[in-house]
Amino acid sequence: MKKIILCAAVAVFGLTNMNAQDNSMNNTNDAIDFGLKAGVNFAKLTGDDVENADGRTGIHFGVVAEIPVSDVFSIQPEVLYSQQGLQEDFTGGEYKLKLDYINVPVFAKFYVAEGLALELGPQFGFNVSSKSEVQIEGADGEEISSIERDLEDSVEAFDFGAGAGVSYKFDGGVFLQARYVLGLTSVYQGSSEGIFQDDLNNSNLSVSLGYKF
């Protein structure tokens, strides 16, 4: 299943690029920029049961392609590995929900100044790992036991979201990016995990550094 999900994500990226290359044959001045990016996620989940929960700080990395449509507008598909989830403290320990995705955002970019762009678009997420971890702490705060559980059967395999962001591209290909994406589909029914009763949605603020060739 995971191999199928990965192949699907790569296929979406590849088909988008093939279409863009066909279109660009009519305008040799508009070259497609390919690149790499990596950064930090400040992820959490939204829902009434997790209002006081802390987020999960993780990483993301992957490939990007910027397809020019006009001088001030372009489309940027990406394929990213992304660590998300949450952490919640309770008396005597803490609970961690670790959700890892292959995310495929397809964002429209509107350049408002030289190198500065506003971004908006959908994101298609494919879950590749879902685990919960309960850590029990002693009176001195040190961990005395840890229990990890696989949640593959409880977490939805597909996550759909929408987001917005801002990016700045420097001369030479280096770019900075900040983006927020909110999941519009439920991660899973909380009652199936036995801890949360409401549906939960992904929420992720990310900061990235990248390079386009």
CA-closest candidate to residue 66, choices 37, 32, 93: 32
Which CATH number does the domain housing residue 132 bear? 2.40.160.20
How many separate domains does the chain show?
1
d(CA 163, CA 159): 13
Q: What is the pLDDT of residues 99-112, one digit of tens each?
A: 999 999 999 999 99
Q: Copy the structure tokens of residue 90.
A: 């309770």
Tens-place pLDDT, residues 16-72: 555 555 554 554 457 899 999 999 999 999 987 777 788 999 999 999 999 999 999
Q: pLDDT value at position 192?
A: 46
Between CA 210 and CA 58 the distance in angstroms is 17
In the predicted model, what is the mean pLDDT of residues 136-165?
86
Tokens at residue 206, please? 């990310």
Q: CB-based burial of residue 53 (10 Å sphere; 0-12 exposed, 13-18 middle, 19+ buried)?
A: buried
- Could you tell me the pLDDT band of residue 11, with boundaries at 50, 70 and 90? low
For residue 48, the enclosing domain spans 2-24+32-212
Q: What is the mean pLDDT of the segment spanning 156-169?
A: 97
